[in-house]
Amino acid sequence: MTELELKYGCNPNQKPAKIFMQNGELPIKVLNGRPGYINFMDAFNGWQLVKELKEATGLPAATSFKHVSPAGAAVAVPMSDTLKKIHFVDDMELTPLATAYARARGADRMSSYGDFIALSDTCDVATAKIIAREVSDGVIAPGYTDEALEVLKSKRKGTYNIIEIDPDYVPAEIEHKDVFGITFEQGRNNMKFDDSTFSNIVTDNKCFTEDAKRDLIIALITLKYTQSNSVCYAKDGQAIGIGAGQQSRIHCTRLAGNKADIWHLRQHEKVMNLPFKADVRRPDRDNTIDVYISDDYMDVLADGIWENFFTEKPAPLTREEKAEYLKTIKGVALGSDAFFPFGDNIERAKRSGVEFIVQPGGSIRDDNVIETCNKYNMTMAFNGVRLFHH
């Protein structure tokens, strides 16, 4: 198959639309459904991300994509009972690949609503069963077991998008893109990350733990396929906060940091024990938990909306309680797709438990950024690599 006709492009008015190869056959098969333009954009970016995560870590990997940026990405690091519960998989069988997807989906569950999934390995039935009960547009993987395929084909009344990609496909070294009738050409971004990423440590603290190295590599590969400007917080084998497509670096750091804080606060005892009614759906639980964690919850209490979700009125999680809980967070890794121009980014990162940083360096204020890291005994390396993605 050299081309595949699509229903429309980014929007219904953008017709005709198709994907095709200038030379050779498309490296994909559509096993079910009718993926659209944006679905394929998410699928191909997501596949590159998980393929590189698997190559870099040796672990099965998964990502949850929305509008050509990852909402979450992770590798198969076993989860604690607490993480299983906040990721809504405490009642599920968890193979390594299923663990990776549960982590990826759990990074930012609100943003992952209606995601496109990419899996590094053959989709097994345990992973398919998790996907089957979430709101999702489709999945791309190098293969599917017969049982997994049967589960996925039953999703969305039989219209769920299932794409199989040739894992041995290697794209051309030169990329082309048309904008306003003008063709851009560039070499592919084939940057890889390994221990050399951490060779230029510029802070007084020179210690990168092995877990920190793994998490920083996850952050950097995630950033490689995130719309810029972008910043990624990672911990425990997964992204926990991704700030994408911001014009200002500090806004990236704040956005990603706020998402990371929510991920941590979901593990707070009060959140874990919220008295949800049995019939409240997972997406509604996700939204309600985010509201409960937010500073708007007192307004919601006053409106009496809690009665729609809870068997009894839960006590609020106060600002003071949230601040005290977040002070206990440590060991978070932070990657940036370009240099930090000011120390304010480090100040914000510190509030979310960041101890390990990799960024390109090269700002005229590098000294200020390094000084701020030293103030908090953080470890930071300059890798000299910018990762803009557009």
CATH no. for residue 333?
Answer: 3.40.140.20
32 and 118 together in one domain: yes
Burial of 327 (0-12, 13-18, 19+ CB in 10 A): exposed
Domain limits for position 251:
193-265+326-382
- Residue 1 scores a pLDDT above 60: no
Q: What is the mean pLDDT of residues 346-356?
A: 96
**C-alpha dist (Å) from residue 163 to 6, 155, 287, 324, 363:** 14, 14, 29, 45, 42
- Residue 389 scores a pLDDT above 90: yes
Rounded to whole angstroms, the Cα distance separating 142 from 241 reads: 27
pLDDT at 252: 92
Q: What is the mean pLDDT of residues 319-329?
A: 95
292 and 333 together in one domain: no
CB 236 within 8 A of CB 99: no
**Is residue 321 a part of any domain in this protein?**
no
Q: Max CA-CA distance within the chain?
A: 63
**Is residue 126 a part of any domain in this protein?**
yes
153 and 23 together in one domain: yes
308 and 205 together in one domain: no
58 and 159 together in one domain: yes
28 and 117 together in one domain: yes
pLDDT at 300: 66
101 and 205 together in one domain: no
pLDDT at 232: 97
- Residue 28 scores a pLDDT above 60: yes
Tokens of 369: 């950024």
Scored b (16 or more CB within 10 A) or e, 361-372 reads bebeebebbbeb
pLDDT at 273: 93
**In this predicted model, what pLDDT tens digit does every residue of 210-240 receive, in sequence order?**
999 999 999 999 999 999 999 999 999 999 9
334 and 224 together in one domain: yes
**C-alpha dist (Å) from residue 192 to 8, 229, 300:** 35, 20, 47
pLDDT at 23: 86
Using alpha carbons, select from 7, 13, 63 the residue that is nearest to residue 37: 7
pLDDT at 302: 63
Eight-state DSSP code of residue 203: S
CB 46 within 8 A of CB 105: no
Rounded to whole angstroms, the Cα distance separating 232 from 69 reads: 12
- Residue 145 scores a pLDDT above 80: yes
- Quote the number of domains for the chain: 3
Q: What is the mean pLDDT of the chain?
A: 94
Q: What is the mean pLDDT of residues 31-41?
A: 96
Using alpha carbons, select from 334, 357, 364 the residue that is nearest to residue 233: 334
223 and 126 together in one domain: no
Provide the pLDDT confidence category of residue 359 given band limits of 50, 70 and 90.
very high
Q: HSE-up of 7 (CA within 13 Å, CB side)?
A: 10
How would you classify residue 161: left for phi > 0, otherwise alpha for psi between -120 and 50, otherwise beta?
beta
SS3 of residue 332 by DSSP = strand
Residues serving a catalytic function are: 66-67, 229, 390
pTM above threshold 0.85: yes
CB 354 within 8 A of CB 182: no
330 and 363 together in one domain: yes
- Residue 128 scores a pLDDT above 70: yes
Provide the pLDDT confidence category of residue 306 given band limits of 50, 70 and 90.
confident
Strand order in the sheet with 136-141: 28-32, 161-165, 136-141, 115-119, 61-66, 69-75, 238-244, 230-235, 332-336, 354-359, 379-382
- Residue 7 scores a pLDDT above 70: yes
**Is residue 229 a part of any domain in this protein?**
yes
Q: 164 - beta bridge partners?
A: 29, 141
pLDDT at 295: 78
- If one counts every other C-beta atom within 10 angstroms of the C-beta of residue 94, the result is 20
**Is residue 145 a part of any domain in this protein?**
yes
137 and 30 together in one domain: yes
Q: What is the mean pLDDT of residues 41-64?
A: 98
CB 59 within 8 A of CB 101: no
Burial of 78 (0-12, 13-18, 19+ CB in 10 A): exposed
